[in-house]
Amino acid sequence: MTPGWSCKCCLMIRDAAREPKPNVQSATPGLVTVARLAHTFRLDVQVSVMFFTLRTFFLAGLCLPLGLNFASASDAMIVWPSDWEVEALPQPPSTPVHPSVQIRQRAVKNDQNGDPAMVVELTQTRLQPGHDVNVQGVLLEMRKAVQVNFVRSGFQSVCTKMKDSTLSEVPAMETTCTITQNGAHVMTQTLVAAANKEMAWSLSYAGSADGYAANKEEVLRIRDSLRLDVTP
């Protein structure tokens, strides 16, 4: 990794924090819900994808000790392997405009040098009664947000066609993006969105080109261990 890439990632986080809320005009109420959910998930996804050159972030004392399998007893949605650093992220306040985010978890797998090789992040959001979620629309907005921010920082990204999937037993959609710089593969990220009548979830797992390939199977096992029926 080059120092220039690290600086670009810092700028992307700054821009993501300053990014205005999306202004989506539509006669379809469901699309408004899509925009709100996508905005809720957007910064989480962007921070995850830029985590790899920001090792100093982990020195702030936010990560839980190694060997702790759950972020907390009430947030026991994922069983994490003992060599992952698990962090329960701050929850933004609930407002009438934005849905209530109940759970935000991030876990990091470091390489032999102690640098982040893979990052997994999960967000759970409680929906307002009567709101149906267009999962494909949410995933599309998430993908757009990630790609736009990469382009702004001199990276290129190509994403697979969105496909049907599941998250636990909840219907979902997912896509995987390959990120390059000057033709070199530098990062891979998978985005997943899922929803039922009460909740919506976003899952992101991303890593350096080598880190993603080396840890993909383990992440898929972690994903299979998800329990989305846990009420915090």
How many angstroms separate the CA atoms of 8 and 97, rounded? 31
Find the distance separating the first CA and the last CA of the chain, reported in whole Å: 39
Backbone angles phi, psi at 158, to 5 degrees: -125, 125
User: Confidence class of residue 51 from pLDDT cuts 50, 70 and 90?
Assistant: very low
Least reliable range by pLDDT among 5-9, 109-113, 157-161: 5-9
pLDDT number for residue 11: 36
Higher confidence at residue 109 or residue 6? Answer: 109
The most confident of the ranges 25-29, 54-58, 128-132, 156-160 is: 156-160
d(CA 15, CA 51) in angstroms, rounded, equals 15
Contacts of 101 (CB under 8 A, 6+ apart): 40, 91, 92, 94, 123, 124, 125
Question: What pLDDT score does 152 carry?
Answer: 87
128 has a pLDDT exceeding 70: yes
Give the SS3 label for residue 165: strand
**Owner of token pair 């650093």:** 85
Per cent of the chain over pLDDT 70 is: 59
Among 48, 43, 77, 112, residue whose Cα is nearest residue 199: 77
- Return the higher-pLDDT residue of 178 and 100: 178
Amino acid residing at 124: Q
- Pair of tokens at residue 154: 């001199």
Torsion sign, CA atoms 206, 146, 6, 69 = negative
Is residue 87 over pLDDT 50?
A: yes
Model confidence at 210, in pLDDT bands (50, 70, 90)?
Answer: very high
Give the closest residue to 124 by CA, choosing from 72, 89, 80, 84.
89
| Rounded Cα gap, residues 127 and 11, in angstroms | 32
pLDDT at res. 73: 36
Q: What is the mean pLDDT of residues 53-74?
A: 31
Mean pLDDT taken over the chain = 70
For residue 44, give the nearest of 131, 117, 166, 149 by alpha carbon. 149
Average pLDDT, integer, range 114-141:
88
Q: What pLDDT is stored for residue 229 in this prediction?
A: 61
> CA-to-CA distance for 25 and 16, rounded, in angstroms?
22
The pLDDT of residue 133: 86
Q: Are 52 and 207 in contact (CB under 8 A)?
A: yes
